[in-house]
A and B are shown apart, each in its own frame.
Chain A
Amino acid sequence: MTSADDRTGRLLEADVLRGTLHAALRTGGDFAEVFVEDRRSTSALFDDGRVEELTGGRSRGAGIRVVVGETTGFAHTADLSPEGLRGAAEAASAAARGGGGGDRTVDLGDQAGPAPGPVAVLPADVPKARKVALLEEADRVARGEHDAIRQVSARYADSRRRIQVANSDGLLTGDDQVRTLFSVSCVADGDAGMQTGRESVGHTVGFELFDRVDVADLARRAANRAITKLDAVPAPSGEMPVVVGPGGGGVLFHEACGHGLEADLVAKSASVFAGRVGEQVAVPEVTLVDDGTMAGEWGCYAIDDEGRPAGRNVLIQDGVLTDFMWDRLRAVKEGRASSGNGRRQGYQYLPMVRMTNTFLEGGDADPDAIVADTPSGVYVAQLGGGQVNTATGDFVFGMTEAYLIEDGRITAPIREGNLIGNGPEVLRSIDAIAGDFAMGSPGTCGKDGQGVPVGDGTPTLRVARLTVGGTAA
């Protein structure tokens, strides 16, 4: 069994990596990289009144890329023997069509890099029965909250992802990323049909997560969210002011502008923000940050999946677009450093530019005053997922808990629906930001078929006009 202090991330010996890079560059190439990953996971599902299953998973392999001119060749293998790695290296090299020839030796130093995020209790060291007990507690508490709760599903999941990166620049580094997640979903049944409520918490920490997260509290909140919505009225339809509660609105920025600030999309002019660095793109109260170093947050890590240390990157400062997010490929083309945003779902995938923890910094308005100052509109306590077209800036996101605002007061809950808006327009029409910053729920961001864990956060804020996609006249 591995103890918490043995987290050096040395999956393969330096000479094996050196030999693999040598094979990858055998027929030439500008750059070669070996990404090694060992992932272990546990998940347990409590559903329909019983522990349905406990699942253990493991995945281990290496992805090798070779860059020749504008072309990237990529191959991966689950066979980490020197022969298996050499085969993948040769396949990647052939794919990149390295034609230059030559015999290049890569000098790898000792493995170095930032230390992995601290973990007090590795989940693998915790008896499975304790994990299951948390689920049973969540089910019991949620069902006990109200007679209308008809169904409860609770999930526990942990993962340990050890990675190692070696490349032809001589980089040799690694990381050990431990994440723990717990979620509760409830169904309530009332006169007007069924409603759902969900709560989740996830951090890049070990089982010590449950020292500070009370699963009973999480279960109560999920149950009450479903109960509250039993009385929901149809959502309004059309443009109106929208106030987003603390922690609930991060996905708004993730969709409204985060994706559009990814350098790979910018480089292909597939972003409305291309060519706009230095311009005032938002009201001066907006400062937007992507920060992979926020200890313990869901989207954090010590190094990205190209071996670059995570960074705190200010994207928009006082409304002015300051920078994009970068991976190695795009950074090299622009003659600059990567911002530590090169991520991949697993060793089977090429890295690309991805967000980490993206958040709007707090302002100085009073959250209650923002609501009181809104004669009529919608208050969104929790947003669901979203989607954006980065080229047009048009985005949607779901409201999973929302209320009407009438005469400056939060009143009736409304049924679920999407909000729709345009990123650049929303950034210019934010007219109030409070000081009550909070991080939101753990998310999985999808891009080009790859999902990675991301975090987000916002204080209470108001957008002067957004289109609410309900059915009420």
Chain B
Amino acid sequence: MPELLDLAEQVVGWADDGEQVEVVAVHERETEVRAYQGEVEALTVAESQGVGIRVVRDGRQGFAHAGTLDLDVLAETLAEARDNVAFATPDEWCALAEPDGVAHADLDLYRQSLADHPTDAKVEAALDLERRTAVADPRIIGVESAEYADAVAESAVVTTTGIRSTSRETGCHLSAHVLAGDGDETQTGFGFSIGRAPGDLDPGRASADAVERATRLLGAVKPPSTRLTVVLDPWVSAQFLGIVGSTLNGESVLKGRSLFADRVGEQVATPLLTLVDDPTNVAAFTATAADGEGLATRRNVLLEEGRLLGFVHNNYTGRKSGGASTGSAVRGYASTPGVGVQALAVVPGSRSQAELVADVEDGVLVQGVSGLHSGVNPVSGDFSTGAEGLRIRGGALAEPVREFTIASTLQRMLQDVAEVGGDLEWLPMRAAGVSLVIGDVTVSGA
């Protein structure tokens, strides 16, 4: 994809003496088809692009972005970024990344078969998903949405400091949202299948998961308040680990917003937990060879048998904390680089979820959570989330339960993990899921 790189290099070529310039350019082609009641409800074909320009001079940075690749606008955007420099406070650590000798992994994230996939086939995929889901179970009273969506994304990062990075990737998914009914009661469920090419997609799985999630909750009751053991389903644990990941972020640490700021080398979690962020693992849908500053991504071990080894960093936070970037700059074109995990996973155990459940005398299998964004504070560690799932009694799954919360603190939950399952699953988020058994969690219900 030479054009984006050429364009970025051209803009970087406009740099004045004494200033560093970084150009991030992205281009994306997307198709989205939504089916409803046997018809195409909406078909969107979209092409979008954008450029973010960062200028650094004398330890100050300015930034501007524009949703176009038009050269005249890019010249104005560079001027705007340059103008913004004057208002920033100088900081000796503020500088653009420089090549650090780590080679970009050769990741195969692009599939020509997706780029060549005809629109008719995409439409048929959405219609097929809706058809098969609607008749999958007599308790399904509606398919709220059935969707096929794909994207072909390309990006480039070029700087005056010698960074010259490009990437391109494809991705697609099928997803279904369904309503299940029994008498006056309605429950909802969703299912999806994700891949890099249409051939990776499994409509049967998307459909079956949606039906299963909706029907298993029929007849669910609000459980009484108590303390017990929870088993987090991979879908839930991935979200939990994503929050843990946000506390292991060099920016939060430097700015005094991390629970774990002064605890490197300490045992912050049970020895059962080894936590690795590895964006070079192509099994992760968020895999990428280059980070948001164009540096090579790499495997970073954050927790080793519960001991905190370190944090993820971008160029600024790495340098300021006396080290270097870990290739963990995350951003879109419309923002300056932040810091974050990109493909976080626990090293899995060996047993299946069914085997984990069989060892729980009194507990809840938590299959869904809501309100993580409002009920978890990654600074204080307070953790409280809405939940739904199945009761576990005497090692067997029992009645469905809903409208309750589970609560603890992140600090305690990391210590209270009693077992890690063997069912590691990559999901469309920056962390993989695995069944986790966590003891002594407060359930608030009736």
- Which residue numbers of A lie inside 8 Å of B, CB to CB? 44, 47-61, 69-78, 91-92, 95-97, 128-129, 132, 150-151, 153, 187, 189, 193-196, 229, 235, 237-239, 268-270, 272, 348, 350, 384-387, 389, 391-392, 394-398, 415-418, 420-422, 467-471, 473
The answer to whether B403 touches A50, judged by C-beta atoms less than 8 angstroms apart, is no
Which residues of chain B are near A150, meaning CB under 8 Å? 256
18 sample A-B contacts, Cβ–Cβ < 8 Å, listed by A number = A50-B88, A55-B335, A56-B80, A57-B334, A74-B42, A77-B47, A78-B68, A128-B87, A151-B256, A194-B256, A194-B379, A196-B379, A387-B373, A391-B187, A395-B370, A397-B374, A418-B384, A418-B405
The answer to whether A237 touches B87, judged by C-beta atoms less than 8 angstroms apart, is no
The answer to whether A418 touches B385, judged by C-beta atoms less than 8 angstroms apart, is yes
- Which residue numbers of B lie inside 8 Å of A, CB to CB? 36-37, 39-50, 61-68, 70, 73, 77, 80-81, 83-84, 87-89, 91, 119, 141-142, 144-145, 179, 186-188, 222, 225, 227, 254-257, 259, 334-336, 370-371, 373-375, 377, 379-382, 384-386, 388, 402-409, 442-446
Which residues of chain B are near A469, meaning CB under 8 Å? 375, 384-386, 404-407, 444
Given A54-B87, A74-B42, A396-B386, is A421 in contact with B444 using a C-beta cutoff of 8 Å? no
User: Contact partner of B402 among A60, A69, A237, A394, CB < 8 A?
Assistant: A394
18 more contacts with CB within 8 A, not counting A54-B87, A56-B65, A420-B404, are A52-B88, A53-B62, A53-B63, A56-B81, A58-B67, A59-B66, A128-B84, A187-B257, A189-B256, A195-B379, A237-B444, A238-B446, A384-B374, A385-B373, A415-B382, A417-B405, A471-B408, A473-B227
Give Cα A70 to B39, complex, Å. 7
Give Cα A397 to B375, complex, Å. 7
Which residues of chain B are near A73, meaning CB under 8 Å? 42-44
The answer to whether A269 touches B179, judged by C-beta atoms less than 8 angstroms apart, is yes
User: Contact partner of A72 among B41, B66, B402, CB < 8 A?
Assistant: B41
- Interface residues of chain A: helix, strand, loop or mixed (majority): strand
A105 to chain B, nearest CB (A): 25
The answer to whether A237 touches B370, judged by C-beta atoms less than 8 angstroms apart, is no
The answer to whether A268 touches B442, judged by C-beta atoms less than 8 angstroms apart, is no
The answer to whether B255 touches A48, judged by C-beta atoms less than 8 angstroms apart, is yes
Which residues of chain A are near B386, meaning CB under 8 Å? 387, 394-396, 418, 420, 469
The answer to whether A48 touches B385, judged by C-beta atoms less than 8 angstroms apart, is no
Given A60-B68, A270-B179, A420-B444, is A398 in contact with B188 using a C-beta cutoff of 8 Å? no
The answer to whether A193 touches B84, judged by C-beta atoms less than 8 angstroms apart, is no
Given A55-B63, A78-B49, A420-B405, is A470 in contact with B384 using a C-beta cutoff of 8 Å? yes
The answer to whether A51 touches B371, judged by C-beta atoms less than 8 angstroms apart, is no
Name which of A73, A187, A387, A391 has the most chain B CB atoms within 10 A of its CB: A391
Give Cα A159 to B251, complex, Å. 27
The answer to whether B88 touches A54, judged by C-beta atoms less than 8 angstroms apart, is yes
Which residues of chain B are near A52, meaning CB under 8 Å? 61, 88-89
B435 to chain A, nearest CB (A): 23
Give Cα A58 to B66, complex, Å. 5
| Smallest CB gap from B184: residue in A | A272
Give Cα A47 to B334, complex, Å. 19
The answer to whether B370 touches A396, judged by C-beta atoms less than 8 angstroms apart, is yes
Which residues of chain B are near A70, meaning CB under 8 Å? 36-37, 39-41
| Smallest CB gap from A193: residue in B | B380
Which residues of chain B are near A75, meaning CB under 8 Å? 44-46
Given A71-B39, A78-B48, A392-B187, is A270 in contact with B142 using a C-beta cutoff of 8 Å? yes
Which residues of chain B are near A53, meaning CB under 8 Å? 61-63, 84, 88, 336
Which residues of chain A are near B179, meaning CB under 8 Å? 269-270, 391
Which residues of chain A are near B43, meaning CB under 8 Å? 71-74, 95-96
Which residues of chain B are near A348, meaning CB under 8 Å? 46, 48
Which residues of chain B are near A467, meaning CB under 8 Å? 222, 403-405, 444-446
3 closest pairs, A vs B, by CB?
A469-B405, A398-B374, A396-B371
The answer to whether B375 touches A398, judged by C-beta atoms less than 8 angstroms apart, is yes
Name which of B45, B73, B381, B409 has the most chain A CB atoms within 10 A of its CB: B45
The answer to whether A387 touches B370, judged by C-beta atoms less than 8 angstroms apart, is yes
Give Cα A111 to B79, complex, Å. 34
Name which of B65, B373, B404, B405 has the most chain A CB atoms within 10 A of its CB: B405
Give Cα A50 to B88, complex, Å. 7
The answer to whether B44 touches A56, judged by C-beta atoms less than 8 angstroms apart, is no
Give Cα A464 to B385, complex, Å. 21
The answer to whether B65 touches A57, judged by C-beta atoms less than 8 angstroms apart, is yes
Name which of B255, B380, B443, B445 has the most chain A CB atoms within 10 A of its CB: B380
Give Cα A72 to B41, complex, Å. 6
| Smallest CB gap from A49: residue in B | B89
B436 to chain A, nearest CB (A): 19
| Smallest CB gap from A133: residue in B | B87
The answer to whether B186 touches A392, judged by C-beta atoms less than 8 angstroms apart, is yes
The answer to whether B403 touches A471, judged by C-beta atoms less than 8 angstroms apart, is no
The answer to whether B141 touches A269, judged by C-beta atoms less than 8 angstroms apart, is yes
Which residues of chain B are near A384, meaning CB under 8 Å? 374-375
B446 to chain A, nearest CB (A): 6
User: Contact partner of B65 among A55, A91, A187, CB < 8 A?
Assistant: A55
User: Contact partner of B45 among A95, A97, A350, CB < 8 A?
Assistant: A95
| Smallest CB gap from B222: residue in A | A467
Which residues of chain B are near A422, meaning CB under 8 Å? 403
| Smallest CB gap from B220: residue in A | A392
The answer to whether B375 touches A471, judged by C-beta atoms less than 8 angstroms apart, is no
The answer to whether A418 touches B371, judged by C-beta atoms less than 8 angstroms apart, is yes
| Smallest CB gap from B385: residue in A | A418
| Smallest CB gap from B408: residue in A | A471
Which residues of chain A are near B39, meaning CB under 8 Å? 69-71
The answer to whether B42 touches A420, judged by C-beta atoms less than 8 angstroms apart, is no
A377 to chain B, nearest CB (A): 14
Given A51-B87, A78-B48, is A392 in contact with B404 using a C-beta cutoff of 8 Å? no
Give Cα A150 to B380, complex, Å. 13
B270 to chain A, nearest CB (A): 19
A265 to chain B, nearest CB (A): 8
A119 to chain B, nearest CB (A): 22
The answer to whether B91 touches A50, judged by C-beta atoms less than 8 angstroms apart, is yes
B402 to chain A, nearest CB (A): 6
Give Cα A394 to B63, complex, Å. 42
B7 to chain A, nearest CB (A): 14
The answer to whether B142 touches A268, judged by C-beta atoms less than 8 angstroms apart, is yes
The answer to whether A57 touches B66, judged by C-beta atoms less than 8 angstroms apart, is yes
Given A54-B62, A78-B48, A420-B444, is A385 in contact with B84 using a C-beta cutoff of 8 Å? no
Give Cα A193 to B186, complex, Å. 42
A192 to chain B, nearest CB (A): 9
| Smallest CB gap from B64: residue in A | A56
Give Cα A467 to B442, complex, Å. 13
